[in-house]
């Protein structure tokens, strides 16, 4: 490797610190829009389910090397609905020799994610670190540009249809000044390398969200944040394809969660891009650490375009800065106070969940409360021969508690549901009937639950299920 993420001396100070998705919303009562999906009692048990009920994902960075460890996979697959390969999709991992691609470790993570209904964030295509030795021999702008574009195209083609969002360019700006980092891409290609990387990425996989990802861009007023903001503003104004900004959010005592963190998220979102918290970890322990996590979760929940949070590892044991115990599970996979704080924040019905305001329908006081439910479905990933629909969100839209709900939808010809979770499915012809399980059949008014399923389809058929309808009772 040529560049090192961790400087000599070991400790990295303050490091730092489908578009294809479609939504079908059918609301049986009240006639307008989706209702607030807040505080579902049944979704309180895991980070992923609770986040989904708030329209967000909750992910973790994963190392393929640990997928054989039962405790690791138990927690990973129980708690998280998104995964990011920690190192397995980096340049030196997937293209160690020019034009020679190897995906064994990345594929292991993607296969595991598919098996468990998790989405995948791709990390990362163009970064100053994690570059194989041959890159230093590419001394002309043309050679490096060709290598960069070939790399992006090769990797994105391999994973086409399987990645929710790619960190297309990672860490291209300097702390302090907000100047561009003096990477080999910057030196040889110049300022235009980031734009070129995004244009190449869009052409390679038009369905993946394309993100710019960086650390120390959590404080809206910092020079680095302002520089990234200006770049995103310029990109969106000129139509350069960019869909999201990733705030890595590595925090510690010297670099705590900034007081204006929510404003930072709001400012990026106001440019018309999603914001994702991509590598969250907070060094510390106990209540102070829990407070930091709570602030991050609440800030994300307060901004409609903050679409999810990923923590940079499952357990302190394998954290890139294990000594700082920065994660939600300790080395023995015990839940830490920070875990409880995150879960409580996700399930706190008093924090705002931004949704359209439904048009109030006056109800005569003598009319008994109605039993009704609504359903929305999101396709979170698709490829030639199949797709994942998650979350399917069922909301009690009526005025009384419901103890049973049934969702029906129609599969296109030749499609077949291959797996599902949080639901009991039966199929008759092309009609699928989905019923809540013992765990999630009962919903208080305004509460929601989610389920998901995988389906196969004839190769090349782009069609998707339709006609989602919810019946209460
Ligand atoms: O797997 C080898 C092992 O076989 C070998 O014995 C050992 C000797 O050093 O190295 C192991 O590889 C290390 C790898 O982590 C797995 O532990 C690499 O040397 C080490 O450089 C690598 O560090 C990763 C670092 O990025 C550099 O790529 C960290 O795991 C990873 O958490 C960190 O992640 C970065 C994000 O990509 C970008 N944002 C900052 C974040 C934290 O630094």
Determine the pLDDT at residue 367.
Answer: 57
Q: Per-residue confidence at 34, pLDDT binned at 50, 70, 90? A: very low
Q: Per-residue confidence at 36, pLDDT binned at 50, 70, 90? A: very low
Q: Is the CB of 86 under 6 A from ligand 1?
A: yes
Give the number of the atom of ligand 1 that is nearest the alpha carbon of residue 215. Answer: 39
Determine the pLDDT at residue 352.
Answer: 59
Cα 55 to its chain centre, rounded Å, is: 11
Per-residue pLDDT, averaged over 305-313, amounts to 98
Pocket mutation for ligand 1, best pick of 2, 3, 5, 251 (most atoms within 8 Å of C-beta): 5
Q: Are 400 and 466 in contact (CB under 8 A)?
A: no
Per-residue pLDDT, averaged over 323-346, amounts to 98
Q: Is the CB of 320 under 6 A from ligand 1?
A: yes
Q: Which backbone phi and psi does 418 adopt, to 5 degrees?
A: -105, -25
Instruction: Report pLDDT digits (tens) over 106-141.
Output: 999 999 999 999 999 999 999 999 999 999 999 999
Q: Which backbone phi and psi does 422 adopt, to 5 degrees?
A: 60, 25
Residue 12 or 279, more confident: 279
279 catalytically annotated: yes
Q: Is the CB of 84 under 6 A from ligand 1?
A: no
Residue 360 or 179, more confident: 179
Q: Whose CA is nearest to atom 32 of ligand 1?
A: 320
Pull the structure tokens for residue 155: 């990797």
Q: Is the CB of 471 under 6 A from ligand 1?
A: no
The DSSP line for 79-94 is H-SEEEESSTTSHHHH
Q: Is the CB of 87 under 6 A from ligand 1?
A: yes
> At 216, is the secondary structure helix, strand, or coil?
coil
Determine the pLDDT at residue 424.
Answer: 84
Q: Whose CA is nearest to atom 26 of ligand 1?
A: 5
Instruction: Report pLDDT digits (tens) over 414-434.
Output: 998 877 777 888 889 999 999
Largest CA distance in the chain: 80
Which residues have CB under 8 Å from 188's CB, separation 6+?
A: 138, 139, 140, 141, 144
Q: Is the CB of 207 under 6 A from ligand 1?
A: no
Distance CA 410, CA 431 (A): 5
Instruction: Give yes or no for residue 241 having a pLDDT over 50.
Output: yes
Q: Are 450 and 391 in contact (CB under 8 A)?
A: yes
Determine which one of 88, 266, 279, 283 is catalytic. 279
Q: Return left, alpha or beta for 338; rule: phi > 0 is left, psi -120 to 50 is alpha, else beta.
A: alpha
Which residues have CB under 8 Å from 187's CB, separation 6+?
A: none
Q: Per-residue confidence at 102, pLDDT binned at 50, 70, 90? A: very high
Among 2-11, 100-109, 257-266, 371-380, the range scoring the smallest mean pLDDT is 2-11
Instruction: Report pLDDT digits (tens) over 373-415.
Output: 999 998 876 766 777 788 889 999 988 899 999 999 999 999 9
Pull the structure tokens for residue 384: 């030639």
Give the number of the atom of ligand 1 that is nearest the alpha carbon of residue 5. Answer: 27
Q: What is the 3-state secondary structure (H, E, C) of 237-248?
A: HHCCCCCEEEEC
Distance CA 328, CA 394 (A): 29
Q: Whose CA is nearest to atom 14 of ligand 1?
A: 87
Q: Is the CB of 149 under 6 A from ligand 1?
A: no
Ligand 1 center to 320 CA (angstroms)? 7
Instruction: Report pLDDT digits (tens) over 443-472.
Output: 988 888 888 887 888 888 889 999 999 999
Instruction: Report pLDDT digits (tens) over 162-213.
Output: 999 999 999 999 999 999 999 999 999 999 999 999 999 999 999 999 999 9
Give the number of the atom of ligand 1 that is nearest the alpha carbon of residue 312. Answer: 32
- Single out the residue of 382, 375, 384 nearest to residue 402, CA to CA: 375
Q: Is the CB of 425 under 6 A from ligand 1?
A: no
Residues in the chain: 473
Q: Whose CA is nearest to atom 1 of ligand 1?
A: 65
Cα 447 to its chain centre, rounded Å, is: 23
Q: Per-residue confidence at 351, pLDDT binned at 50, 70, 90? A: low
Pull the structure tokens for residue 147: 């290598």
Ligand 1 center to 427 CA (angstroms)? 46
Ligand 1 center to 87 CA (angstroms)? 6
Which residues have CB under 8 Å from 390's CB, separation 6+?
A: 52, 81, 117, 119, 378, 380, 450, 451, 452, 453
> At 127, is the secondary structure helix, strand, or coil?
strand
- Single out the residue of 311, 305, 303, 299 nearest to residue 251, CA to CA: 311
Give the number of the atom of ligand 1 that is nearest the alpha carbon of residue 130. Answer: 28
| Burial class of residue 65 (count of CB atoms within 10 Å of its CB; 0-12, 13-18, 19+) | middle
> At 209, is the secondary structure helix, strand, or coil?
strand
Q: Per-residue confidence at 27, pLDDT binned at 50, 70, 90? A: very low
Cα 318 to its chain centre, rounded Å, is: 21
Distance CA 337, CA 461 (A): 47
């Amino acid at each position: 490797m040529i560049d090192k993420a961790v400087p000599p001396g070991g400790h990295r100070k303050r490091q730092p610190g489908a578009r294809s998705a479609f939504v079908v919303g059918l609301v049986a009562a009240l006639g307008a829009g989706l209702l607030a999906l807040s505080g579902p009692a049944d979704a309180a048990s895991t980070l992923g389910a609770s986040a989904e009920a708030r329209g967000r994902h909750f992910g973790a960075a994963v190392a393929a090397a640990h997928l054989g460890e039962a405790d690791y996979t138990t927690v990973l697959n129980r708690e998280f609905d998104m995964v990011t390969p920690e190192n397995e999709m980096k340049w030196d991992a997937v293209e160690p020799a020019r034009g020679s691609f190897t995906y064994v470790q990345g594929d292991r993570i993607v296969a595991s994610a598919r098996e468990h209904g998790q989405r995948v964030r791709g990390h990362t295509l163009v970064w100053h670190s994690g570059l194989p030795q041959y890159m230093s021999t590419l001394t002309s702008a043309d050679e490096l540009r060709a290598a960069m574009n070939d790399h992006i195209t090769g990797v994105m083609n391999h994973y086409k249809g399987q990645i929710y969002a790619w960190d297309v360019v990672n860490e291209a700006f300097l702390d302090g000044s907000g100047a561009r980092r003096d990477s080999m891409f910057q030196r040889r290609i110049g300022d235009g390398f980031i734009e070129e990387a995004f244009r190449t990425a869009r052409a390679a996989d038009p369905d993946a969200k394309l993100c710019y990802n960086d650390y120390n861009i959590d404080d809206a007023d910092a020079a680095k944040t302002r520089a990234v903001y200006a770049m995103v503003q310029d990109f969106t104004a000129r139509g350069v394809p960019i869909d999201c900004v990733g705030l890595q959010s590595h925090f510690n005592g010297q670099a705590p969660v900034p007081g204006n963190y929510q404003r930072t998220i709001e400012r990026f979102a106001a440019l018309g891009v999603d914001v994702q918290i991509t590598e969250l970890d907070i060094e510390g322990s106990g209540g102070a650490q829990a407070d930091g996590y709570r602030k991050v979760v609440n800030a994300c929940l307060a901004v409609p375009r903050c679409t999810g949070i990923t923590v940079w590892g499952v357990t302190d044991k394998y954290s890139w800065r294990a000594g700082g115990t920065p994660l939600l599970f300790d080395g023995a996979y015990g839940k830490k106070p920070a875990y409880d704080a995150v879960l409580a924040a996700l399930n706190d019905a008093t924090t705002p969940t931004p949704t359209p305001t439904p048009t109030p329908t006056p109800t005569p006081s003598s009319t008994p409360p109605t039993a009704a439910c609504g359903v929305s479905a999101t396709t979170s990933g698709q490829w030639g021969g199949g797709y994942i629909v998650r979350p399917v969100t069922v909301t009690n839209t009526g005025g009384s508690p419901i103890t049973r709900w049934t969702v029906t939808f129609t599969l296109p010809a030749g499609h077949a549901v291959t797996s599902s979770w949080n639901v009991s499915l039966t199929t008759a012809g092309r009609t699928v009937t989905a019923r809540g399980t013992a765990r999630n059949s009962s919903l208080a008014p305004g509460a929601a639950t989610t389920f998901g399923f995988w389906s196969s389809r004839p190769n090349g058929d782009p069609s998707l299920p339709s006609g989602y309808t919810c019946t209460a009772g």
